[in-house]
């Protein structure tokens, strides 16, 4: 009898959908949001980070650290019901999944796996995306799903909230439509309540995220909070490109950093994934962006110049921007900063400011001639300027 009821339910949804109708207003509203954004013919959702990176993020997830062993409880429920279990972060990316071999294989074929994105903008109407959007438990049955590839599924999802209402992620149980049981909905809601009651203190009362410090002028240095990071030159370039140029698609980021060099997208993606791990997951995706506060010496220098504070700007100028880098974004920004600072100094720089700039650009005759011509309270400073200008002429 249950099989007949499930079959009838599926047929009624399919008929309603064929007629341009929705089985209920919540599903209908989700279909409207999905229309024109996600093709119904999509066979697999985006998997935008390596599964290993997703599991690294899972280790830090407050849902995992809730102290109630959510993996064990969800895995047991999945095994008992022939289902697959999953947990996402706050954006809808799956961080962890488990299930029986048969259902897990089906899940992997559509991207229902660590790294897979199941927000509505990526996968259309589905229970995980719906729970994220509404903040309420969601069930999506068969053809209520937007993409055809999961019309044989039924999914039950529950969002995990902090006491102040923030959504930390979603837990989900999914299986075949013809084995749907109300016990799965009960299980996922019970586990969800248990997790919310035992969230770690840092999720309930979050502290401000650490600030990323980027020193790009002269010798590059990167620190996260009070911890200095030892990064490769390429990793520094990726960070600097995001900090100076803003969010980017993978194609755009590759062009900014690698230029015309024949670097595969997969290589660039792997570099970003590794960098994300080093930053504790603080690089968002689609588009790639930094998700924590950033302090960059280059941007500070520009603000000082805009405010007319030439002396403070030149004191921050420890050297050219990433002087060894051949990345297109670095070359462009290096030229811009040097030109802005030089023009400001020629217009209103003191002798000491001009000489400080000349410590980096030793053969800039115009800067040194300006330093010699400047009135200065110190005869020693004037002699130094004159000596440097003579050296530059000989140079």
Q: Are 50 and 285 in contact (CB under 8 A)?
A: no
Beta-carbon contacts of residue 119 (< 8 Å; ≥ 6 apart): 91, 92, 93, 128, 129, 132
Q: What is the pLDDT of residue 363?
A: 86
Topology of domain 2-204, CATH: Beta-Lactamase (3.30.450)
286 band by pLDDT with thresholds 50, 70 and 90: confident
pLDDT tens-digit map of 145-170 = 999 999 999 999 999 999 989 999 99
Nearest alpha-carbon partner for 135 in 88, 182, 169: 169
- Report phi then psi at 21, rounded to 5: -115, 160
Nearest alpha-carbon partner for 144 in 270, 11, 257: 11
What's the rounded Cα separation, in Å, for the pair 390 and 362? Answer: 11
Instruction: Name the strand (E) or helix (H) holding 194.
Output: helix 182-197
Q: What is the pLDDT of residue 1?
A: 46
Q: What is the mean pLDDT of residues 5-19?
A: 92
What's the rounded Cα separation, in Å, for the pair 249 and 322? Answer: 23
Q: What percent of the chain has pLDDT over 90?
A: 71
101 band by pLDDT with thresholds 50, 70 and 90: confident
Q: What is the mean pLDDT of residues 47-60?
A: 88
What's the rounded Cα separation, in Å, for the pair 334 and 14? Answer: 59
Q: What percent of the chain has pLDDT over 70?
A: 98
pLDDT tens-digit map of 263-282 = 888 899 889 988 988 887 78
Domain range summary for the chain, segments of one domain joined by +:
2-204, 213-293, 295-394
pLDDT at position 325 over 90: yes
Instruction: Quickly count: other Cβ atoms within 10 Å of residue 26's Cβ.
Output: 17
CATH number of 213-293: 1.10.10.10
Pairing mode, if any, of strands 294-296 and 212-215?
parallel
pLDDT tens-digit map of 170-204 = 999 999 999 888 899 999 999 999 999 999 988 88
pLDDT at position 6 over 80: yes
Return the residue matching tokens 């207003």.
Answer: 25
What's the rounded Cα separation, in Å, for the pair 279 and 282? Answer: 5
What's the rounded Cα separation, in Å, for the pair 387 and 296? Answer: 34
Would the pTM of this model clear 0.75, i.e. be above it? no
pLDDT tens-digit map of 127-145 = 999 999 999 999 999 999 9
pLDDT at position 301 over 90: yes
Q: Which two tokens stand for residue 51?
A: 């599964």
Q: Which two tokens stand for residue 163?
A: 């006491």
């Amino acid at each position: 009898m249950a099989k007949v009821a499930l079959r009838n339910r599926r047929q009624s949804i399919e008929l309603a959908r064929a007629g341009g109708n929705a089985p209920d207003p919540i599903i209908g509203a989700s279909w409207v949001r999905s229309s024109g954004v996600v093709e119904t013919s999509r066979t697999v959702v985006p998997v935008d980070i390596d599964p290993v990176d997703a599991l690294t993020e899972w280790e830090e997830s407050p849902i995992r650290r809730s102290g109630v062993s959510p993996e064990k409880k969800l895995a047991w429920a999945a095994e008992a019901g022939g289902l697959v279990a999953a947990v996402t972060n706050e954006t809808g990316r799956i961080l962890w999944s488990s299930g029986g071999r048969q259902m897990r294989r089906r899940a992997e074929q559509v991207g229902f796996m660590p790294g897979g994105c199941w927000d509505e903008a990526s996968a259309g109407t589905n229970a995980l995306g719906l729970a994220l959007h509404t903040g309420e438990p969601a069930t999506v049955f068969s053809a209520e799903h937007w993409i055809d590839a999961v019309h044989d599924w039924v999914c039950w999802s529950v969002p995990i909230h902090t006491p102040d209402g923030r959504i930390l992620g979603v837990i989900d149980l999914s299986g075949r439509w013809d084995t749907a049981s109300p016990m799965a909905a009960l299980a996922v809601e019970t586990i969800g309540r248990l997790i919310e009651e035992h969230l770690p203190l840092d999720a309930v009362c979050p502290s401000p995220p650490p600030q990323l410090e980027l020193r790009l002028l002269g010798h590059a240095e990167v620190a996260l909070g009070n911890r200095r990071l030892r990064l490769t030159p390429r990793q520094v370039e990726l960070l600097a490109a995001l900090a100076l140029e803003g969010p980017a698609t993978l194609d755009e980021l590759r062009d900014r950093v690698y230029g015309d060099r024949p670097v595969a997208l997969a290589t660039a993606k792997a570099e970003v994934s590794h960098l994300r791990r080093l930053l504790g997951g603080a690089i968002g995706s689609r588009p790639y962006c930094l998700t924590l506060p950033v302090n960059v010496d280059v941007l500070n220098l520009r603000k000082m110049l805009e405010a007319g504070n030439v002396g403070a700007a030149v004191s921050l100028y420890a050297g050219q921007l990433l002087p060894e880098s051949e990345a297109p974004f670095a070359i462009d920004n290096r030229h811009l900063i040097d030109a802005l600072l030089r023009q400001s100094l020629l217009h209103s720089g003191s002798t000491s400011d001009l000489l400080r700039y000349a410590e980096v650009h030793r053969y800039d005759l115009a800067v040194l001639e300006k330093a010699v011509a400047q009135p200065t309270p110190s005869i020693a400073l004037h002699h130094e300027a004159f000596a440097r200008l003579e050296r530059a002429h000989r140079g």
